[in-house]
Amino acid sequence: MRHRILITLLCVATLAIYSTSCKIGYSFTGASLSPEIKTFFVDFFPNRARIVNPKLSQAFQEKLTDKFSNELGLTSQRNGGDIEFSGQIVRYETRPLGIETSSDGRDIAGQSRFTIGVRVKFVNNINHDQDFNQTFTAYEDFTASQSFASIEDEYVEVILEKIITDIFNKSAANW
């Protein structure tokens, strides 16, 4: 009997020591950032693409800031933070995808692809092993019967959401 009590106490003590020495973080967002990370900074991303949408840089910065603030509850800083994002918009273009022959025999684009690319430098000031410098690109296709001007604003929103999700997954979820 005494031997059983001793073994039970030893097991309880071992579990108590083990449970206080290990930190396991769970998140409904899939994030795996260190619990030490409380702040973040998103720098202005200048538009260096050949075609410049004057609203794109600010929209990107705001959406990336909102994602980390809303999803992780981190506090945005005006300069510096536990994690930092900087970079530039490097691609904003449309290209023909498929060529079709018109009724008068001319070759025309049947579909076009709208692409945005953003180069991101991520710095994790808590764990520099997670730092990266990578270009994230996303696109949407549209038919030749649609004018680019008629779909541009809507597709910018959709593409930015894809890019920001990829950045979030790479930096916060380590995917």
Task: Kindly state the percentage of the chain with pLDDT values over 70.
Answer: 79
Three-state SS for 73-117 is CCEECCCCCCEEEEEEEEEEEEEEEEEEECCCCCEEEEEEEEEEE
- How many other C-beta atoms can be found within 10 angstroms of the C-beta atom of residue 64? 24
Does residue 125 carry a pLDDT above 50? yes
Residues 141-168: pLDDT tens digits? 999 788 999 999 999 999 999 999 999 9
User: pTM to 2 decimals?
Assistant: 0.78
Residue whose entry in the numeric block shows the structure tokens 């710095």: 123
Which residues have a Cβ under 8 Å from the Cβ of 7 and sit 6 or more positions away?
none
Domain coordinates in residue numbering, the chain: 36-172
Residues 70-111: pLDDT tens digits? 999 999 999 999 999 999 999 999 998 877 777 777 777 689
Topology of 36-172 in CATH?
Double Stranded RNA Binding Domain (3.30.160)
> What's the CA gap between 156 and 23, in Å, rounded?
40
Q: Would you say 153 and 114 are in contact if contact means Cβ atoms under 8 Å apart? A: no
Q: Band of the pLDDT at 26, cuts 50, 70, 90?
A: very low
Mean pLDDT, all residues of the chain? 85
Q: Is 30 left (phi over 0), alpha (psi -120 to 50) or beta?
A: left
